[in-house]
A = this chain, B = another copy of it.
Amino acid sequence: MSEKTTIYDIAKELNITAATVSRALNNNPKISQSTRTLVLETANKMNYKQNKLALALRSGKSNNVGVIVPRINTNFFASVIRGIEEALHPEGYQVIICQSHEDKTREIENINTLLNAQVDGILMSISNLPKENNHYLERIIQKNIPLIFFDRKKEMDNVSSVIIDDYQASYQITRHLIEQGCDKIAFLSGDRTLEIYEDRFRGYQQALTDHNIEINEAYIIPIKSNVVEGRDAVDKLLALENPPNAIYSTSDFAALGAIQKLKERNIKIPEDFCVFGFGNEPFTKFMELTISTVDQAPLEMGKITAQVFLDKINSVEIKKTGKTVVLMPKLFVRQSSTRIRE
């Protein structure tokens, strides 16, 4: 009862050989219908379960896919993972999740662990790394294991990516703030060595330029994605001789912190100061003062990332090219940035 039955067990039961059983179980055409049904029946009766490990050892495929994210506890990453799961689970893949915690060392460890686990592919959103060489990523490619980036990518040969149009989102946010009458817009941004943040910076920059607003370097503040950094940023900004009248934060958490601090300073939102976040975390909708933000279509991003992986793994020819799928983000303009109602 507690013993697992193998194809040998059912072969013995039927006085045939394991090879035949294997063929019957795998829809191999070279087998008679009668033995096939017989095998299937007894396999079922004996509660046979294929040993995936043996299969993996033999085929070199594990049917495991690794996912590496900076952290699991944001709505964005949790939802992307959900999307990946939903697309991959029906295909028989098991998803293994690792968190890098924005730490390069940990990220390399994650990769090693996943490679050890013989994953068939790695889907990842890279961490806030300093400008580093790609050795540890190239190891994946050399092993012929598909690597797909989502959201946070790095430019690499033969690697596909699924991202949103950060530039567009950023341009639209900045334009929106300008249209609301804000002419001094601060930019709280994650590490710009990551493409997403650089792209957002470019969108911000271009929108200002297009509206004849000069960039003020003092308004550009590097932050990490948490509440405290948003609070601290406001302190810095309000200490300026010429403080801003709007904040565009690339993190909802920092946007929240900023709003808290502005309120503590008795600055009225949105009348005196507008705030725009990024990521559409659930709490942005919950607040008494709802927070404007951008939805990054995480569920869709996950599903498409999974699909890109499946396409790669299932294509007969070895694809040596990488493609980039770009999703369109969607702005949710809420109270924290709405002065003018249409």
Chain A 257-284 interface 0/1 with B at a Cβ cutoff of 8 Å (1 = within) = 0001001000000000000000000110
A50 at the interface (CB under 8 A from B): yes
| A64-96 Cβ-contact flags toward B at 8 Å (1 or 0) | 100000001101001101100100000000111
- A2-B142, A75-B73, A142-B2 known; A118-B53 Cβ under 8 A: yes
Q: Are B288 and A143 in contact (CB under 8 A)?
A: no
Q: Are the CB atoms of B72 and A142 closer together than 8 Å?
A: no
Asked if A113 is at the interface of the complex by the 8 Å CB criterion, the answer is: yes
- Distance of A295 from chain B, by nearest CB (Å): 15
Partner of A289, one of B82, B99, B260, B288: B288
Contact residues in B for A319 (Cβ distance below 8 Å): none
User: Chain A, 82-120, contact with B by CB distance < 8 Å: what is the 0/1 string?
Assistant: 100100000000111101000000000000010111100
Residues of B within 8 A of A54 (CB): 57
* Residue of B with least CB distance to A78: B73
Kindly state the separation between the CA atoms of A269 and B117 in the bound complex, as whole angstroms.
Answer: 53
- Which B residues lie within 8 Å of A75 (CB)? 73
Whether A118 and B52, one on each chain, are in contact in the complex, defined by CB atoms closer than 8 angstroms, is yes
Cβ-defined contact, A85 with B57, below 8 A: no
Interface size on A, residues (CB 8 A): 44
Contact B288 A288 (CB under 8 A): yes
CB–CB A144/B287 < 8 A: no
| Minimum CB–CB distance for A202 against chain B, Å | 31
Copies in the assembly, this chain: 2
Q: Is A227 an interface residue (CB 8 A)?
A: yes
Answer whether A115 and B49 are a contact pair too, CB < 8 Å, given A2-B142, A96-B94: yes
Asked if A51 is at the interface of the complex by the 8 Å CB criterion, the answer is yes
Quick check: B72 and A94 within 8 Å, CB to CB?
no
Contact at B1–A142, with CB atoms within 8 Å? yes
Determine the distance from Cα of A116 to Cα of B52 in the docked complex, in whole angstroms: 6
Residue in contact with A53 in the complex, picked from B4, B62, B72, CB distance below 8 Å: B62
Chain B proximity of A134: nearest CB distance (Å): 16
Could you tell me if A72 and B78 are in contact, using CB atoms closer than 8 angstroms?
Answer: yes
With both beta carbons as reference points, the residue of chain B lying nearest to A142 in the complex is identified as B2
Decide if A156 is an interface residue (CB 8 Å cutoff): no
> Are B52 and A117 in contact (CB-based, < 8 A)?
yes
Q: B117 and A64: CB pair below 8 A?
A: yes
A residues sitting closer than 8 Å to B (CB atoms) are 1-2, 4, 49-54, 56-57, 62, 64, 72-73, 75, 78-79, 81-82, 85, 94-97, 99, 113, 115-118, 142-144, 227, 256, 260, 263, 282-283, 286-289
A53-B62, A288-B289 known; 20 new pairs, CB 8 Å cut-off, are: A2-B142, A49-B115, A51-B118, A52-B118, A53-B57, A53-B118, A72-B81, A72-B82, A73-B73, A73-B82, A94-B96, A94-B113, A94-B117, A95-B96, A256-B286, A263-B288, A283-B283, A286-B287, A287-B287, A287-B288
